[in-house]
Amino acid sequence: MVIYTKINFSTRGTKKTVNRKLLKFLSYYQPYLGLFTADLVCAFIAAGISLSFPLIIRYITKDLLSAGIDPSVLATIWKLALLMLFLTAVEYCCNYFITSYGHMMGAKMEYDLRNELFNHLQKLSFNYYDNQKTGQIMSRITNDLFEITELYHHGPEDLLISLTKLIGSFIILFGINAYLSLVVFSFIPLMVCFAYYYNRKMRRAFRKNREKIAAINAGTEDSISGVRVVKSFANEELEIEKFRENNLRYVDSKQDSYRYMGRYHSGIHAFSSLIYLVLVVAAAILADGGRINSLDLLTFLLYINVFLEPIRKLINFGEQFQNGLSGFDRFYEVISIDPDIIDSKGALELTQVKGNIEFNDVSFRYNPNTAEVLSHINLKIKAGEYVALVGTSGVGKTTLCSLIPRFYQISAGIIKLDGRDIRKIKLKSLRRNIGIVQQDVYLFAGSVLENIGYGKPDASEEAIIAAAKKANAHDFIMGLPDGYATDIGQRGVKLSGGQKQRLSIARVFLKNPPVLIFDEATSSLDNESEKVIQDSLEQLAQGRTTIVIAHRLSTIRNAGRIIVLTDDGIAEEGDHQSLLSKGGIYSQLYKMQFE
């Protein structure tokens, strides 16, 4: 079970935040501790073997060959050669395990991260998505997570290998010649300070890179999704220019990161060259004083390469660390957001829903800093009643209906379903009993059968076909190239507006909820399609509590009750004829449409 915590980014909470983030980062190793331990053991063994080769060569050249070659010396050399061959085979197996199984561990961790992030995104309310772009969310799910898992896999093993070789090199080099060792290792504090300084610079730069690539993804997703609008206005050049500008901002942000990387890499390489330079001078002085012989100097130089290898690995690790850490920061930002709409303690399942809805002094605003969209709404809708909501654009009709299934959390008051506060009902149970047909129909890429079946995933094909017939969709479906198996394309682009709407109605028929919400379901259709859809909606509404948000007032003349909503709340309510006779707001709206 994943526990989501609200993170305090204030200065006072910084230490606690860092600790939480670190614990969260480390928690993803837990399911793979065995594999992770084996990976580190293989890394340690491979590092140890690479340290042993120069020692064996030194022993052969200094202790064996210097005494002359005889059968016993040759036998020892053959044994050492076989030992080196065996060590090479072991090193091969270790490196294979690191590369193969270590990468698989990284892939599994990426799977876990992506699952957790997607699951958490499903728990966030409309409020979150109202302020986010799809492309930016996609960037967090794909690009960021890949960099994180590269750090998860390579980070610990690179650090262990580097640490093993650095410590091993120091011990061996110190044993060969203490003076030269002190000269070499005097550079380490300088290199650590240098690396720390530029790592901080690179981290900020890489974070900007992540933000810019997310902006590119968002712009690309927006442009591709709206490609029909783009082409209808012949605005391809405009979109190309917008993409070019975003792409240029990304390149500019890359320049900063590459500038710091260049200084970092160049500085580390300069330190390496400087070590060789100082080492040669120091060795010459020591050789002149007879404090080092040529074989020891040769071995020392071999181990300098072993010493510099982890330095080069740390160069790569520095970039990898900053990329991974920047990605994890962005990942953590999302999963640390508390879902604002969750099941309350003791929330109950709904059974035998009648459909009585009641608003008691309900107010709503999108966030504490904005004005109220709805203020002190009091409304009762009886089970099975057909109610229409009308009013000018922006008065909160859709918002009011979105509060019933708790897509947003009310700011004040109580909404009840069958006398029970909806906040004390399990979310899935509440939404399972409410069907929504919207003006902007969303269909998923896939077949007609799959899209209707989305209303009830465990429904049989017979039940899906029956729902399509009730929605007046069966005849047009059978006229498609592959009938119910026809692929409708992304968002149903291969279908007309009326056809898409009928599939969405069939989906709700299949769901069979006791409460219905029609959000301007026919406002964008032609007259012929509107009549077919209206017939389907009326059939669907029979025996159910129905709330209709109406743009075309002609479609709600037969509504049992019409509620007129204004910026000040509910201004009028009654049936069509009584509201017309009042000569109030509804009458004015009606005359505007038909005069």
pLDDT string in tens for the chain (595-residue length): 333 333 333 333 466 666 788 888 889 999 999 999 999 999 999 988 888 887 787 777 766 666 667 777 788 888 888 998 999 999 999 999 988 888 889 888 988 998 898 888 888 888 888 887 777 788 788 778 888 888 888 888 888 888 888 788 778 878 877 888 888 778 878 877 887 787 777 777 777 776 777 777 777 766 666 665 565 566 678 777 877 887 777 777 777 777 877 887 788 778 878 887 887 788 778 776 677 777 777 777 777 777 777 776 776 676 678 778 878 888 888 888 888 888 888 889 988 899 999 999 999 998 888 888 999 999 999 999 999 999 888 888 989 999 999 989 999 999 999 999 999 999 889 989 998 888 777 888 788 998 898 888 888 999 999 999 888 889 889 998 999 999 887 777 788 888 888 888 888 888 889 998 988 766 555 565 667 777 777 888 888 899 988 877 777 888 889 999 988 889 999 988 998 888 888 888 888 776 5
Q: Is residue 1 part of a domain?
A: no
43 and 80 assigned to the same domain: yes
154 and 295 assigned to the same domain: yes
412 and 538 assigned to the same domain: yes
- pLDDT for 16 equals 67
C-alpha 180/C-alpha 197 separation (Å) is 28
Q: Is residue 512 part of a domain?
A: yes
128 and 44 assigned to the same domain: yes
Q: Is residue 350 part of a domain?
A: no
C-alpha 151/C-alpha 322 separation (Å) is 9
The domain spanning residue 366 has which CATH number?
A: 3.40.50.300
566 and 482 assigned to the same domain: yes
323 and 436 assigned to the same domain: no
Q: Is residue 7 part of a domain?
A: no
- The structure tokens listed for 435 are 């069907």
314 and 383 assigned to the same domain: no
Q: Which long-range contacts (CB under 8 A, 24 or more apart) does 110-114 make?
A: 110/145, 110/146, 110/148, 110/149, 112/28, 112/31, 113/28, 113/145, 113/148, 113/149, 113/331, 114/141, 114/145
* 561 close to 388: Cβ distance less than 8 angstroms: yes
- pLDDT for 2 equals 33
* 446 close to 385: Cβ distance less than 8 angstroms: no
Q: Is residue 434 part of a domain?
A: yes
C-alpha 108/C-alpha 258 separation (Å) is 30
Overall number of domains in the chain: 2
Residue found by looking up tokens 């510099």 in the block: 308
* 473 close to 508: Cβ distance less than 8 angstroms: no
User: Which residues pair with residue 438 across a beta bridge?
Assistant: 519
The domain spanning residue 125 has which CATH number?
A: 1.20.1560.10
Residue 322: exposure state from Cβ atoms within 10 A (0-12, 13-18, ≥19): buried
Other C-beta atoms within 10 Å of 349: how many?
Answer: 10
Pairing of strands 412-417, 374-381: unpaired
- pLDDT for 525 equals 58
* 304 close to 181: Cβ distance less than 8 angstroms: no
309 and 276 assigned to the same domain: yes
* 386 close to 548: Cβ distance less than 8 angstroms: yes
51 and 122 assigned to the same domain: yes
Q: Rg (Cα) of the chain, in Å, rounded?
A: 35
432 and 318 assigned to the same domain: no
- pLDDT for 315 equals 65
- pLDDT for 89 equals 94
C-alpha 258/C-alpha 383 separation (Å) is 65
101 and 216 assigned to the same domain: yes
331 and 361 assigned to the same domain: no
Of residues 42, 91, 48, the one with CA closest to residue 306: 48
- The structure tokens listed for 578 are 């009584």
C-alpha 227/C-alpha 109 separation (Å) is 36
- pLDDT for 423 equals 93
- Phi and psi at 227, nearest 5°, equal -60, -30
Among residues 335, 369, 386, the one where a domain terminates is 335
Q: Is residue 570 part of a domain?
A: yes
Q: Is residue 404 part of a domain?
A: yes
Q: Is residue 342 part of a domain?
A: no
Amino acid at the residue 418:
D
Q: Is 549 helix (H, G, I), strand (E, B) or coil?
A: strand
- Range of the structural domain that residue 431 is part of: 357-594
